[in-house]
Chain A
Amino acid sequence: MSENTSTTAIKLCGLTKTFGHVIANSDVSMEIKKGEILALLGENGSGKTTLMNMIAGIYYPDEGKILIDDKEVSIGSPRDAFRYGIGMVHQHFKLIDVLTAAENITLGENGRLDMKKTVARIKDICDKYGFDIDPNQKVYNMSVSQKQTVEIVKVLYRGADILILDEPTAVLTPQETEKLFKVLSNMKKDGKAIIIITHKLNEVQEISDRVAVLRQGHYIGDLITAETNAQEMTDMMVGHKVELNIDRPEYKGEKVPRIVVNGLNIRNEEGIEKLKDVSFSVNSGEILGIAGISGCGQKELLEAIAGLQVVESGSIKYIDENGKESELVGMEPLDITELGVTLSFVPEDRLGMGLVGNMDLADNMMLRSFRNNSTPFTDRKNPHELADRIVSELDVKTPSIETEVRKLSGGNVQKVLVGREISNTPSVLMTAYAVRGLDINSSYAIYDLINQQKMKGVAVIFVGEDLDVLLQLSDRILVLCDGQVSGIVDGKSADKNQVGMMMTKLGGEDKNNEE
């Protein structure tokens, strides 16, 4: 380790921040050293992002102080943060679509605009740390991983010595994550202080020097990564022991195909091929996991089954309990729902599709059922009862069912969404990113819900990001790669590396060390 390790880069003393009645951070004190990678660990809603936003000048603390190089500073804006050498890569990228990478990187600088010089400096930084981007590419043409690279380069370009990364690996493939970690250790060697927010314990162990844990807005303590283990970290994070294993109960009934997809081709609005000749089937009483890097066609696949996507060619057959076949391609979403095929799709912003943020819980329950009477008026009683039931059965934390959904935390929003979909007694349940951004307890609650449905004989399609979860939860896993079926593997015997390779290379043929 270099001689920098001993000096403190940034010190937080008693930081407190409240939003209305919600205390996001309470009296948090901690420090980060130069040349150190600190993993900031905590359940969802434990205040990690808020804390980092205060350092980055997005929020202003209600109380407490921040010390940089032992001097007290006031960070009132992101510009102040830049001045003190603090740069943050947010979970949702702060890039402007219609500008190029270089324009985005130079954004906020002073002086004459000289794109040639900017591009040259960007290339220098890329060479130094091992990034790979085209500075003149427009951001709306970029993949998620490319966008993230632009974000990191931007922060370095602005001369940051303290880097904050908010869940950087959430959107990356294992291979991309590896690349990122390599870059991070290069930066660490360069004496930069790096804070990385994450949920994934294996990544914490792989990359960090030290772990700091937040729980419900409070600072719990820190651990030297080399001297701890996953169990200890989890305990600190949740406060009590949790079982790390996900159940995979075996369905006792007969497994028959529910959805049969054959030769499905889809082009998106821009005419780009998103799915190529996709064929598979889902059986009753099983969970079919779908793995793939983001943008490889999972979204289009689910939307096609739900009737929300225009299908170019191919067929999607639904077979009900009595063996009656119906062709879903060309059917209206409403009719598909009435067959019992439901989609609980949780997009990046969680509220984007299944729920209406500005409506209360009860009104959101009505989204599915408001047509269920013959008068022109809506029925308000049943949705109220359903909302009450979901709140009590799934332990949704909300002031009342008249609370607007956007005011709930992520986990509770997802419980409401999944709860409503399940209340429809579906025969096919599709869910995407059901646990994205959720803490461990909420995640398990969702897994339980999904397993219960499976045991009732429902065919479940589960699109997930975390391979560990997919491997533990799914009976079979369909791996998509660039819109094509890369392979279907058995959940019990599949190996993580193998699936990871299949996600990036069709059929995963590069796997030379397969057993």
Chain B
Amino acid sequence: MKNNHEPLFHVVKRDELSRGKGILIRVVAIIVALIFCGIITVALTGVNPISVYGTMVTGAFGSVRKTWVTLQNTAILLLIALALTPAFRMKFWNCGGEGQILMGGLASAACMITLADKLPNAVIIILMIISSIVAGAVWAGLPALFKALWNTNETLSTLMMNYIAIQLVAYFTVVWENPKGSGKIGIINQNSNIGWLPEIANKYLLAIVVGLIITFFVYIYIYYTKHGYEVCVVGESYRTARYVGIKVGKVIVRTLLLSGALCGLVGLLLVGGINHTITTTIAGGQGFTAIMVSWLAKFNPFVMILTSGLIVFLGRGAGEIATVFGFNQSFSDILTGIILFCIIGCEFFVTYKIKINKKEGEGNV
């Protein structure tokens, strides 16, 4: 047999992959990614790889405080991912988490700054909650409205909304500058603590508790409610949705209002509960990272606890490496990027398998 065009192998779709095997593939991918990161770190620093990984663990869980921060960051990233998830189930690529968070944060900050001394603290906090949720919802609702009315590409419109939000925050940073000339707002109500969200046990737990509550809420919302069902149908086919009497436009706008509201809530937590100030970088790109968190979890809220935990661990671990070995913090972006590439790539082996064409097998039967 001298066939000149015999392909050496070809790719076929898997029928059904057992859950265990699926998890195994992903675990292997993460291990490969870690080895890869280790090699790169070693190449740049010359220290032994074991201590590199050790440093990563120390960075994330080295002390009680570090562990709490890791958990808190996980909760925040998880919350953003949860916020985006209903939109993604509808195949609405909401890349505007960043802007929606900022708007929520901006609304909180506005309440804290302008209403301090004018209203009782409890009223201010209630107003902060309402205004941040509304602000986030509006910021997501606008692109949704465009999509519903004219099918405007949402990836791009939400991206643009991010930058408009950033500039709005920049604008108010100048307006509320404190002290004058510093170019930033500084800790808001540092002495009176007006508008600071109450702490549960310690200053980290609030975000974690909210994160867990919202996880349950989103899980039930997408899998067990009529709304969730409508979202899924709309995501699969507008035509089918219309045919069974689902008002597609309404569902798009409603889902994005929810998505944006949850992002707004994250803004509230960041400004009122954690940082007590606002900057243009307060969301720190997590609006984008959360897209990957949600996608890696296949849009399952409980799996997102794991994926967000993983990403935060990597980020903090890599950050620690950077500090210990004297790199700048961007090093963690590189490692996160590499790990994401590996995880993204491994999805291929979950969906497909490679069949090698055996020469001897040809022509038999």
Task: State yes or no: do A and B touch (Cβ within 8 Å).
Answer: yes
A363 partner residues in chain B, CB cutoff 8 A: 229
Q: Mark B230-243, 1 if CB is under 8 A from A, else 0.
A: 10110011011011
Q: Is B236 a contact of A357 with CB atoms below 8 Å?
A: yes
Say yes or no: is A203 at the interface (Cβ < 8 Å to chain B): no
Query: Contacts A16-B365, A63-B362, A378-B224: A333 and B243 contacting too (C-beta < 8 A)?
Result: yes
Name which residue of chain A comes closest to B220, CB basis: A377
Say yes or no: is B13 at the interface (Cβ < 8 Å to chain A): yes
Pick the contact of A377: B14, B226, B361 (CB < 8 A).
Answer: B226
| Cα of A358 to Cα of B239 in the assembled complex, Å | 15
- Measured between C-beta atoms, what is the minimum distance from A432 to chain B in Å? 12
Q: Is B244 a contact of A367 with CB atoms below 8 Å?
A: yes
Q: Mark A443-455, 1 if CB is under 8 A from B, else 0.
A: 0000000000000
Say yes or no: is B364 at the interface (Cβ < 8 Å to chain A): yes
Say yes or no: is A118 at the interface (Cβ < 8 Å to chain B): no
Q: Is A352 a contact of B365 with CB atoms below 8 Å?
A: no
| Cα of A14 to Cα of B4 in the assembled complex, Å | 20
Query: Contacts A65-B362, A332-B245: A371 and B226 contacting too (C-beta < 8 A)?
Result: yes
Say yes or no: is A119 at the interface (Cβ < 8 Å to chain B): no
Q: Is A377 a contact of B224 with CB atoms below 8 Å?
A: yes
Pick the contact of A65: B16, B228, B242, B363 (CB < 8 A).
Answer: B363
| Cα of A152 to Cα of B151 in the assembled complex, Å | 35
Pick the contact of B243: A65, A80, A354, A359 (CB < 8 A).
Answer: A354
Name which residue of chain A comes closest to B10, CB basis: A60
Q: Is A334 a contact of B4 with CB atoms below 8 Å?
A: no
Q: Is A74 a contact of B4 with CB atoms below 8 Å?
A: yes
Q: Residue among B7, B237, B245, B362 with the most chain A CB within 10 A?
A: B245
| Cα of A471 to Cα of B245 in the assembled complex, Å | 33
Q: Which residues of B contact A (CB under 8 A)?
A: 1, 3-7, 10, 12-16, 224-230, 232-233, 236-237, 239-240, 242-245, 361-365
Q: Mark A320-351, 1 if CB is under 8 A from B, else 0.
A: 00000000000011100100000101000001
Q: Is A356 a contact of B240 with CB atoms below 8 Å?
A: yes
Q: Is B225 a contact of A333 with CB atoms below 8 Å?
A: no
- Measured between C-beta atoms, what is the minimum distance from B220 to chain A in Å? 8
Q: Is A367 a contact of B225 with CB atoms below 8 Å?
A: no
Say yes or no: is A370 at the interface (Cβ < 8 Å to chain B): yes
- Measured between C-beta atoms, what is the minimum distance from A269 to chain B in Å? 12
Q: Is B237 a contact of A352 with CB atoms below 8 Å?
A: yes
Interchain Cβ contacts under 8 Å between A and B, 6 examples? A306-B243, A333-B243, A333-B245, A337-B244, A356-B236, A378-B225
Say yes or no: is A168 at the interface (Cβ < 8 Å to chain B): no
Q: Is A359 a contact of B3 with CB atoms below 8 Å?
A: no
Q: Is A60 a contact of B240 with CB atoms below 8 Å?
A: no
B3 partner residues in chain A, CB cutoff 8 A: 72-74
Query: Contacts A332-B245, A333-B245: A353 and B4 contacting too (C-beta < 8 A)?
Result: no
A333 partner residues in chain B, CB cutoff 8 A: 242-245
A14 partner residues in chain B, CB cutoff 8 A: 363, 365
Say yes or no: is A391 at the interface (Cβ < 8 Å to chain B): no
- Which residues of A9-51 are within 8 A (CB) of B? 14, 16, 19-21, 27
Q: Is A20 a contact of B236 with CB atoms below 8 Å?
A: no
A306 partner residues in chain B, CB cutoff 8 A: 243
Q: Is B237 a contact of A353 with CB atoms below 8 Å?
A: yes
Pick the contact of B5: A27, A63, A76, A345 (CB < 8 A).
Answer: A76
Q: Is A76 a contact of B6 with CB atoms below 8 Å?
A: yes
- Measured between C-beta atoms, what is the minimum distance from B13 to chain A in Å? 7
Say yes or no: is A308 at the interface (Cβ < 8 Å to chain B): yes
Name which residue of chain A comes closest to B364, CB basis: A63
A90 partner residues in chain B, CB cutoff 8 A: none
Q: Is A80 a contact of B5 with CB atoms below 8 Å?
A: yes
Q: Is A378 a contact of B229 with CB atoms below 8 Å?
A: yes
Q: Is B365 a contact of A63 with CB atoms below 8 Å?
A: yes
Name which residue of chain B comes closest to A59, CB basis: B10
Q: Is B233 a contact of A356 with CB atoms below 8 Å?
A: yes
- Which residues of A64-105 are within 8 A (CB) of B? 64-65, 72-76, 80
Pick the contact of A337: B10, B229, B245 (CB < 8 A).
Answer: B245
B232 partner residues in chain A, CB cutoff 8 A: 356, 359
A253 partner residues in chain B, CB cutoff 8 A: none
| Cα of A376 to Cα of B227 in the assembled complex, Å | 8
Say yes or no: is A355 at the interface (Cβ < 8 Å to chain B): yes
| Cα of A363 to Cα of B4 in the assembled complex, Å | 49
Say yes or no: is A459 at the interface (Cβ < 8 Å to chain B): no
| Cα of A63 to Cα of B13 in the assembled complex, Å | 18
Query: Contacts A21-B15, A377-B224: A354 and B240 contacting too (C-beta < 8 A)?
Result: yes
| Cα of A333 to Cα of B246 in the assembled complex, Å | 9
